[in-house]
Every structure is written in structure tokens, then in C-alpha cells.
Structure 1
Amino acid sequence: MSEPTSAPTTSPQPEASPQPAAASGATIQLENLTKRYPGNPNPSVDDVSMEIKAGELVVFVGPSGCGKSTTLKMINRLIEPTSGRIRIGDEDVTDMDPVKLRRKIGYAIQSSGLFPHMTVAENIALVPKMTGWSKSRAKDRVEEMLDLVGLDPREFHGRYPRQLSGGQQQRVGVARALAADPPVLLMDEPFGAVDPITRDHLQDELIRLQHELHKTIVFVTHDFDEAIKLGDRIAVLRERSHIAQFDTPEAILTNPADDFVSGFVGAGAALKRLNLTRVRDVEIAEFPTVSVDDPLQQIFNTLRAGQGNELLMLDRRGRPYKWLRRGDLMRAKGSLARAGQLVHDTVTRDATLHDALEAVLTDSGGRVAVTGRRGEYIGVVDMETLMNSVHEMLEADRLTAAEHAHDLEELRHHRVERDLEGLRDGSEGS
């Protein structure tokens, strides 16, 4: 990147061409949506009706073969519905040109779906160019989208998909889906093919992006924990996409509609509620840090000046690198190359308390480093903070249960009084 030059002060600067406003989400309405395949007596999707609010992230979750992906693909008409209507915003898109429709809807799938013969930049710019964007605007958009998903444009612009890790490919896939600024984003098990740690970070990234962009997102998964973590609302689907329950994660966890939904919630509903609170909602503490480039004596001085027995060493990009204890420094003998414990796990501010607790429990130090969108160090969350949050959550649950029991008792009391009043009126009339 070139150094900025100072602008002349004597001549007026040309006005920057106005950029179009970013598209926020659009309402999606499915009306009696049905899909039948020849030779099959039963529909794959049967008479589904639902409304997804603008800017909402809705998750379809259900057993394999229940029709959740088919329902998703009918929204952008990758699968044509047999009957029913689809409305996006104020527009009935059931009969419009499906190619034009798909250019207005972002689509991200498992294993990213990137074109292997195109560079990262070419993949991201594909839909903007197809919809008539100029070369310069598309180029600017590529850089903007790479930055948005936490990839350095200078590093990744000219790479090919085969040169990326699985997590990086998925980030580029999301960037491509959002490049033309669609109001609606469809995601079909997009994180299903990556390892659990990468998956957690990709989920956090999606939460952060949605926090900034407010798109309408429909997300398909078979993982109920993922649904709880991501969804504003969850549609639990039975066979043929019949809706068993369509509600907030909290409502489904605390009050499942029936045994089928309870089976999806599974054991440990109270612990699953840790997926409803983010790291950003609790106290992120400061922790003494040093840099990998700091002289050994300076590191000693920092440790002596602190109240604890441990430091966090950051790499040259300010990312967590090693936990260093006093004993490590005493044994260093002039070099820290082999001293300390490498940082194996971090969480972002958009991670859930469940993610943070898991990371803390697998670390002997009882804490986890919190990082920003490019992995830079922000602070730490420790076991005490997490346990206090759990206790507060359980106390709130107890109060809610007590209020519910009180309301039920009041209702029972009123019913008894009403019945007694009816008996009295009946006896007086006779």
C-alpha cells in the first residue's frame, strides 16, 4: 500500500461519486409452499407457510431428509416449487426470471463452492460484474469484502481456492455471497465441512457480520447447538418440512412444544442456554502482556511490576502467542524460544459463553484470551467471570419459574372462585 500524499490546498477537490446505500434485509414470506417429485406419492415439502422478518437470522433445523434444504432452495428457485408463492419484500418472485432472482440473493454452501480456476478476487467480483458493476467499483468491493470477513486483501486477492485453508475458503464464500449487497442471504450447512475450532470461529464471524449488516439470513443446519448459537428464531422442522415449533432459541429451550422438539433440544438444556449469551456481554479483563520482540530483562520487569505470576506474550501482529509463567522465565537462560505454553485456543467477542467455558476448561490456567477480527489481542475472560454469569442465569431462571408458578396459582384460585360463584348462583336460582 502506497503512502498517502498531501492534497493541494489551492484547487478544489472533485466530489467523490456517491456510493449506493447498503441494502438491509427484506421480509421473506412463504405461502403454502409445496414440492412434489414424480413417482413419489408424498410431497418432499408440504404446504409450508412462514414469515421471516427483515434483518432476521432464521435457522431451519431438523432430521436428515426432512426437506429443510429443499425449502431453502425454493426461496431462490434453485428448486422450483410445485405450488405456493414466495414473496421477498413487496415483490412476488414466484414467477420472475430465476437467474435474475438469484443475482439478488446471496447463496453460501458447504465447502464454499468457489470456482477453482478463478482467483479469490475473481470469485468475489463475479456477481457484481454480472449485474453491471464497473471494474473499479467491483475492485473496491472485493477489497471491502475481504476486509469485512477478516482476510487481508493484499495477501488473499490473487490466491486460488486450493491455496486457502478450509476456513479461509468459507470466508471467501461468504464474501462472494455478500458482494453484490443482496438483502437476503441463504446458507445451506456452510460450516459443516470444517473442523470444530474453525467452525466456532466462522460462526462467530457470521454473528459479527450480521451485527454490522442486518441482512435477512436463512440458515440450514442439522446441529441444534449451532441453531441456538446463531438464530434469532429457529424453525424446528418435521418430515416434509412441517413446522414443529418456530420461536426464539430461549423459548424453545425453556418450553419445547412437544416430545419431537424436546428430542432435538436433548439433555442439558440449561447448559445450552450458555449459547444465548456472548463474550461481549460479560466483563473482559485486562492481562499483563509483552511482545515477542521485547528484551528478556523488560519481560522480567513487567512480570515483577504485575500482581500475578503470569504474562501473555503477543506475536509481531499483536496476536496471543504464549503464556509465560515466572518459572518459565527463571529457566529461560537468555532465550524464550522454548519457554512458556503456546496459546492453543482463543475466542472472539461474538463467541458464546459456552465456547468460552469450553476453552477455559481445556486450559490449565483457567482463562482464555479474547481476540478481534484479525486475531489481535483484546483481553481475557476467566473461570470466575463465567461462573458468575452462570449463577446469574440460573437465578433468573428460578425467578421466572417462581413467577410462572405464582401466575398458575392465581389462575387456579380465580377459576375455583368462579366455579364456587356459579354453584352459589345455581343454588339460589333453584
Structure 2
Amino acid sequence: MPESGTTEAAPRSVGATIELEGLTKRYPGSDRPAVDDVTMEIGAGETVVFVGPSGCGKSTTLKMINRLIEPTGGRIRIGGEDVTDMDPVKLRRTIGYAIQASGLFPHMTVAQNIALVPKMLRWPSGRVRDRVEEMLDLVGLDPDEFRDRYPRQLSGGQQQRVGVARALAADPPVLLMDEPFGAVDPITRDHLQDELIRLQRELHKTIVFVTHDFDEAIKIGDRIAVLREQSHIAQFDTPEAILTNPADDFVSGFVGAGAALKRLNLTRVGDVAVTDYPTVGVDDPLDEISARLRSAGTDEVLVLDKRGRPYKWLRRGDIARTQGSLARAGVLVHDTVTRDATLRDALEAVLTDNTGRVAVTGRRGAYEGVVDVETLMNSVHELLEADRLEARESQAGLEEQRSAQTHAEQEGAHPPGDRGEAQA
């Protein structure tokens, strides 16, 4: 029996299909619709990214799914149910929504922000409390440290994590995300993208994500919808298909130069060799650290902080200069990557850190291993070689097609009867 005020954990919901049929939005006084006749189907548990130029209608299309903007025409079905005429407030309580700059209420604590929708749905207080703890842990924030803070006491990245936790708190099957990471610095943005990929692997929600950044779309999307003006769909396909076979010049413009290198965003750190590396704790005695260096047969160890997170690279020669303390010895770890980070993220981190390797972390930044520049460069060369091979095969196919066409044209210019008469 559960204790008074608590409930047994309910099974988690999974993603639901989203069907848009002829979805249109026309504003009064405008000579043409802002969104014109959008029809698409998004699979349950799929992450679909809308990308397109500013003003093309991608955010308007997203907001019509949860009816923050009312459509002028068309139908919306979620999980097979037509929600076009449903009470919009009731609909929004069943759909998670995360926006740029988190949208947290400044007068509420982190816990109160996350609990907002569950309380509206009249969940028992014990279940709400448990859900807040679960959500904070899920997005990598220590509940004891963060539940009672206010948004102003959080970094931009922490605010965005809380925003995602709030969007997921009522366990919705669908999560809408409108440029949620656009207001944070590039390093934090990479980590938030990795966190979203990890969460999606665990939760299997249906995610519709709006961005203007094609690299971000490649990294997180199962499929990408490249949108023209009025949300007309230029191409709706997998990242691989769009990179290797853009539908037209408009899509090619979004792909931009260096398509082969952009494919680094399709391969995860977890797909290559992540190796272990000698580690010591920040509070370990210096003689134990020296012994660890000798037994490992290396000139360097990775120092972990009290929470098991990468802290410093410590070389053998640094120990002589410690003067009994690690405070001034070694080189601080400036950046880390997760297993869900892309090879491009890892390569940038390696080049920025200038150590020839980057530490790989898991939940709450705990150390899991390292990936080195040699492994990354080998992967880059393999991708480039695969692209060259594909290009050669494509060129050979085109030449064969032209040869066949030329042969057919020559045959057509000289019918068999004509050739016979000429020979006669």
C-alpha cells in the first residue's frame, strides 16, 4: 500500500502520431496565408524538426498543433483523435511545450514551475512531489540543490533544463519545442542538445522542434522538414537523405558548403571507441596519485572531483610543483562531451582543449571515458572516403545514363528500314 498522500507510479506514456491535414492560417488584412495547406504525418516517438528561413511560418505551424494559434482551416489529429475543435486549454495540458529562454515564472521556485501542470490536472500532492524529484533527476539537476531555487538563481542552461522538465512533468505524449536552445552559448547549447537526445532515447515522446540552425536539425532530428515561405514543404526526409540528395537549389542552400563534414553530426561519440583512462580523486593523497601514475604507465592522469566529474589533467611533472595541494597543479578540463554528442562536437572540444583528447561523461557529468583525436580523425577520413566513393558511383551512373540516352537517340535517328535501304 502506498503511504498517505502518495500514489503508485503510473506507467509512462509514449509518443502519439500527429497528422496535419490542409493546415492553414490566414490573418485578417493579409493578402495571402501565413501558413498554406500544410499536410504531413509524424510518427509516434519520432523527432521531427522544422527548419526554414525567418518568417516562413515554422513557429506558426508548431503553435497551431497545440492551438496557441488557432488554424483558419484544416484538421489536426493526435493519436488518431481530431483535436481541431477540442477545448484548447484542455488540449494544451496534454501537450508539452518548451520555448526559447525557458519561459519559467520568475516568482515561482523550480519545484513550483515543474509542478504547475500536474497541479492543474489535480494530481495528488504526493505524486506531484515525486514527479518534481523525478523530473529534476531526469534532466540532470540534483533535486536537493535545485528544487527551492528561483529562476534568477540559475544559469541559462539550467533554466532550459527546468523548462524541459516542466514541459514533460505531466507525462505528455507530444512535446513541442520552439527554438528552445537559441538563447544560450554554443557550448551549453551542445550539451542541451545531447541531453534532449538522451531523454528521447529514454522516453520515446513525439517531438516537433523548430530551429533556424540546420546543423542543430541534423543533430537531433529523425526527419527534417525544410520549409519555404508559407510553410510549403520543400523536402521532408531523413538528415542523411537531405545531405546526400537535396531536393532542389533551395534545400541545397540550407545544407550549405561542406556537406561531408556536416555528416559528422550524424555519428555519435558512442558509435566510436570510447576508452578508459587512468583517474584519481581530487582528495586522493599525493603518494597514491604518484603510485597510480607509475602503475598506469602514462605521463598523465585525469583528476575527478568529489562527484566523479572530470576536473583536471595532471601530468607527472605537475606533482613536484603541487606543494602538498592540487589547487594550482594541472590543467583544468574546459569541455566534455556525452556519448550522445556528435563527432563534430567532440572534434571541436578536442581542438579547443588542446590536449589531444576529450573526456566523455554520463548522467550529471560523471566520467565515463575519453575519446582521442586519432579516433576522431579516422572517423572523419572514413566519412570523407565514403562520400568520395558515393560521388564516383553517382558520376558513373550519370555517365552510363547519358551514354544510354545518346545510343537511344542515334537509334531513333536511323530506323532499321532506313539502314536497310541505305545498304541496298
Answer yes or no: same fold by TM over 0.5.
Answer: yes
What amino acid is the match of 1:260?
F
Uncovered stretches (5+) of structure 2, i.e. residues with no partner: none
Uncovered stretches (5+) of structure 1, i.e. residues with no partner: 1-12
What amino acid is the match of 1:165?
S
**1:219 to 2:225 alignment:** no
Match of 1:374, SS state, is: helix
Aligned to 1:58: 48
What displacement does 1:418 show? 6.0
Mapping 1:129-278, distance limit 5 Å: 129-278=119-268
| In 1, Cα distance between equivalents of 2:8 and 2:307 | 35
Aligned to 1:320: 310
| In 2, Cα distance between equivalents of 1:78 and 1:14 | 38
Aligned to 2:298: 308
Mapping 1:271-350, distance limit 5 Å: 271-350=261-340
| In 2, Cα distance between equivalents of 1:192 and 1:382 | 29
| In 1, Cα distance between equivalents of 2:54 and 2:418 | 61
8 Å CA contact retained: 2:303, 2:313: yes
User: 1:383-415 CA deviation, whole Å, 9 max, x = no partner?
Assistant: 000011112212222333344344445555665
What displacement does 1:20 show? 2.9
| In 2, Cα distance between equivalents of 1:153 and 1:259 | 49
| In 2, Cα distance between equivalents of 1:164 and 1:361 | 29
8 Å CA contact retained: 2:20, 2:41: yes
Match of 1:140, SS state, is: helix
Aligned to 1:108: 98
**1:123 to 2:113 alignment:** yes
User: 1:219-244 CA deviation, whole Å, 9 max, x = no partner?
Assistant: 01111111111111111111111111
Aligned to 1:8: none
- Distance verdict in 2 for CA 1:14–1:155, change over 3 Å: closer
What amino acid is the match of 1:229?
K
What displacement does 1:291 show? 0.8
What displacement does 1:113 show? 0.9
Match of 2:312, SS state, is: strand
| In 1, Cα distance between equivalents of 2:93 and 2:399 | 56
% same residue: 78
- Distance verdict in 2 for CA 1:426–1:393, change over 3 Å: farther
What displacement does 1:366 show? 0.9
Aligned residues: 418
Q: 2:368 aligns with which of 375, 378, 385?
A: 378
| In 2, Cα distance between equivalents of 1:87 and 1:428 | 64
What amino acid is the match of 1:171?
R
Q: 1:351 aligns with which of 338, 341, 355?
A: 341
What displacement does 1:255 show? 1.6
What amino acid is the match of 1:132?
R
What displacement does 1:216 show? 0.7
Q: 2:355 aligns with which of 365, 369, 372?
A: 365
Match of 1:257, SS state, is: coil
User: 1:311-336 CA deviation, whole Å, 9 max, x = no partner?
Assistant: 11111111111111122122223332
Aligned to 2:378: 388
| In 1, Cα distance between equivalents of 2:216 and 2:2 | 49
| In 2, Cα distance between equivalents of 1:331 and 1:145 | 44
8 Å CA contact retained: 2:102, 2:159: yes
| In 2, Cα distance between equivalents of 1:340 and 1:101 | 54
Aligned to 2:387: 397
Give the root-mean-square deviation of aligned CA atoms. 2.1
8 Å CA contact retained: 2:333, 2:353: no
| In 1, Cα distance between equivalents of 2:121 and 2:37 | 33
| In 1, Cα distance between equivalents of 2:291 and 2:70 | 68
| In 2, Cα distance between equivalents of 1:429 and 1:51 | 58
**1:89 to 2:79 alignment:** yes
